[in-house]
Amino acid sequence: MFLSKKFIPRRTFLRGAGVVVGLPLLDSMVPAQTPLAKTAAVPARRFVGIWHPHGAAPGYWSPLQEGADFEFSFIAKPLEPFRRYVTMITGLDMPEAMATTEEPGGDHARGAVFLSASRPRRNAVSPYLGITLDQLIAKKHGRDTILESIQLGVEEDGNFGNCNWGYSCAYTNCVSWSSPVTPLPTEVNPRVAFERLFGDGATPEERRLGRKQSASILDSVAQEISLFKRPLGPGDRARLDGYLENIRELERRIHLAMEKNVKEPKEEIPFGLPQNKTVHYRLMYDILALAFEGDLTRSATYMLGKDLSGSSFPDSGFNGGWHGSSHHGDKPENVANYAKMNRYHVQNLAYFADKLSKIPDGDGSILDHVLIYKGSNMGNSHRHAHVKVPVILLGGLDGTFQGNRHIVFPDNTERTSNMLLSLLHKYGIEQTPKYNTAGAPIGLEESFGSSTTPLTL
């Protein structure tokens, strides 16, 4: 096989009854004596947009030093082991989310600006925003994957219609939009998200059966796995075994997290949600890591909460409600407590980064070939300020993105929309669709949303 240049195609799947299992990158997928650029060994560029509401505690997020080798702030400290992948940016504003004379309120209703760089349309018959960065990346880099993109969250959509100051609830429930009029809902149930990756449980009957047995989806492809492994070398067998064990272990943890929550669920509610927030957050991160390892998708968004969320996080060391605590009144004790909540979410991000750093991918790890953007639509949320919004960029993006940097921009000089335009260029996207007022594409443009010029990173 080696000398004859025979190889296994990268887009190889194991198929069983209602199950499609993607595979990790194996040595057998790389033909010998072929230029590297023409093989599957060239890593795919991936993107994750992680949204969190209610800004960050002032004085606890931004590092004091600018440039390289900065001292990590209290909130960002959990990311210090990944310093070479971390870029923190201070001083970016989000004017598309700001109140105006015509629209004095609604600050909690414009979170969808996060990846769209466009101002939501208020008092409209149907919501109107703009295509989001993750979807542009998905259309270019995810055409050959099982899922072009995936949207995850942890809080269910509890509101429909108008939510705040005449704004559609779609702007609060969704940060991913495939067109100006098409918001993409998040999946908050770990089991359902897992099944989306592998095609299991496509009907209520199958899901109901799945609740009554502990069988793995891998049982449906056991024979295919055995046949597929026979011609593989020892290294590929070990790599495949490790990947399949990750699938089985994640299944086990999902069952464990949910079996105590739902005894006899209704047919339309296939599974319960984990009661422990940390378990829930990390299960979703594990699902993303597995999706990238099997090249099931290359673009994802993850909503850590909804604007006005009242969730609490006891594991952070502080048990206050999210939105209420974000209105800290600039009182030192309250700000310090809110910083604990912010740090908690970065700790979960560090968990994700550690997991990606241990998954081989081409000449490095998946962390070397992904870019994660974690941010919010507010800076000091007590003041509903959409200036100095927290921005963390994490990952190597195939060696094109340099970490170990704290970039500081002077106040009121730069905006996140220009940063998003720069990130699109990193993914080889120089033009974006232009739409008419009805949401129909009418051409291409070199800007993105309200961007003016690419941000120099």
Instruction: Check: CB of residue 441 under 8 Å from CB of residue 435.
Output: yes
Enumerate helices (H) and strands (E) in the chain, giving the number of each.
11, 19
Nearest to 217 by CA among 13, 12, 11, 20: 20
Asked if pLDDT for residue 289 goes beyond 50, the answer is: yes
Both tokens of 447, joined, read 């800007």
Helical pair 277-293 and 190-198, crossing angle rounded to 10 deg: 10
Query: What's residue 16's pLDDT?
Result: 81
Mean pLDDT in residue range 94-103? 93
pLDDT score recorded for residue 34? 57
Domain boundary among 257, 272, 287: 272
Q: What is the mean pLDDT of residues 21-26?
A: 89
77: number of Cβ within 10 Å = 15
What is the pLDDT at residue 25? 87
pLDDT tier at 36, thresholds 50, 70, 90: very low
Nearest-CA neighbor of 22 among 8, 32, 31, 12? 12
* Phi and psi at residue 17, to the nearest 5°: -70, 100
What CATH number corresponds to the domain at position 385?
3.40.720.10
Same structural domain for residues 232 and 338? no
Domain end, chosen from 225, 246, 272, is at: 272
Question: Tokens representing 155?
Answer: 């809080």
Are 183 and 320 in the same domain? yes
Q: Is the pLDDT of residue 26 over 50?
A: yes
Side by side, the strands of the sheet bearing 391-394 are: 150-153, 299-303, 46-51, 370-375, 391-394, 86-90, 405-408
The residue out of 272, 304, 325 marking a domain boundary is: 272
pLDDT at 207 over 60: no
Q: What is the pLDDT of residue 3?
A: 41
Among the listed residues 118, 191, 116, the one whose alpha carbon sits nearest the alpha carbon of residue 152:
191
pLDDT of residue 260: 59
Of 57, 84, 162, the C-alpha closest to 376 is: 57
Residue 30: burial class (beta carbons within 10 Å; 0-12, 13-18, 19+): middle
3-class DSSP assignment, residue 108:
helix
Same structural domain, 371 and 428: yes
| Any domain includes 451 | no
Residues 307 and 159 in one domain: yes
Structure tokens at 414: 């730069």
**pLDDT category, 211, cuts 50, 70, 90?**
very low
- Kindly state whether residue 88 falls inside one of the protein's structural domains: yes
Flag whether 92 is in a domain. Answer: yes
Taking alpha carbons only, the member of 340, 407, 293 closest to residue 22 is 293
Q: What is the model's pLDDT at position 144? A: 84
Q: Are 239 and 24 in contact (CB under 8 A)?
A: yes
CB count, 10 Å around CB of 51? Answer: 25
The tally of domains found in the chain comes to 2
Residue 6 phi, psi dihedral angles, 5° rounding: -75, 145
Q: Is residue 32 part of a domain?
A: no
Range 407-413 average pLDDT: 95
Q: In angstroms, rounded to a whole number, what is the distance separating the alpha carbons of residues 370 and 289? A: 11
pLDDT confidence of 162, banded at 50, 70, 90? low
d(CA 255, CA 245): 15
Rounded to the nearest integer, the mean pLDDT of the chain is 89
Residue 20 pLDDT > 90: no
- 5 with 70, same domain? no
- At position 335, the amino acid (one-letter code) is V
pLDDT at 27: 87
Confidence of residue 176 (pLDDT cuts 50, 70, 90): very high
Question: Whole-angstrom distance between the N-terminal and C-terminal Cα of the chain?
Answer: 45
The model's pLDDT over 353-390, given as tens digits with 9 standing for 90+, comes to 999 999 999 889 999 999 999 999 999 999 999 999 99
Q: Indicate the SS3 state at residue 343.
A: helix
Full residue range of the structural domain in which residue 358 is found: 43-188+277-445
Q: Quote the pLDDT of residue 339.
A: 98
Same domain, 226 and 298: no
Same domain, 242 and 315: no
Residue 49 clears pLDDT 50, i.e. is over it = yes
Q: Is residue 10 part of a domain?
A: yes
**Whole-number pLDDT of residue 214:** 54
Q: Is residue 123 part of a domain?
A: yes
Task: Output the six-digit token pair for 381.
Answer: 């949320």
Q: Is residue 359 part of a domain?
A: yes
Other beta carbons less than 10 A from residue 181's beta carbon? 18
Query: Are 293 and 359 spatial neighbours (Cβ–Cβ below 8 Å)?
Result: yes
Q: Is the dihedral of CA 328, 373, 418, 396 positive or negative?
A: positive
**Scanning the structure block, which residue is given the tokens 């909540």?**
341
* Listed residue (48, 6, 53) closest to 27, CA to CA: 6
How many Å is the Cα radius of gyration of the chain?
Answer: 22
Q: Are residues 224 and 258 in the same domain?
A: yes
**Residue 282 · residue 348 · CB < 8 Å:** yes
Over residues 228-287, the pLDDT tens digits come to 999 999 999 999 999 999 999 999 999 888 775 544 444 443 456 898 999 999 999 999
Q: Are residues 397 and 288 part of one domain?
A: yes
pLDDT-derived band at 227 (thresholds 50, 70, 90) equals very high
**Both structure tokens of 428:** 């080889």
Q: Which of 65-74, 99-108, 137-146 has the highest mean pLDDT?
A: 65-74
Calculate what percentage of the chain has a pLDDT beyond 70.
Answer: 89
**Within a domain: 31:** no
Give me the pLDDT at residue 4, please.
Answer: 46
Q: pLDDT tens-digit profile of 297-328?
A: 999 999 999 999 999 999 999 999 999 999 99
104 shares a domain with 138: yes
Q: What percent of the chain has pLDDT over 90?
A: 72
Residues 378 and 357 in one domain: yes
Q: Do 303 and 161 lie in a common domain?
A: yes
Tens digit of each residue's pLDDT (9 = 90 or more) over 424-448? 999 999 999 999 999 999 999 999 9
pLDDT for the residue numbered 261: 58
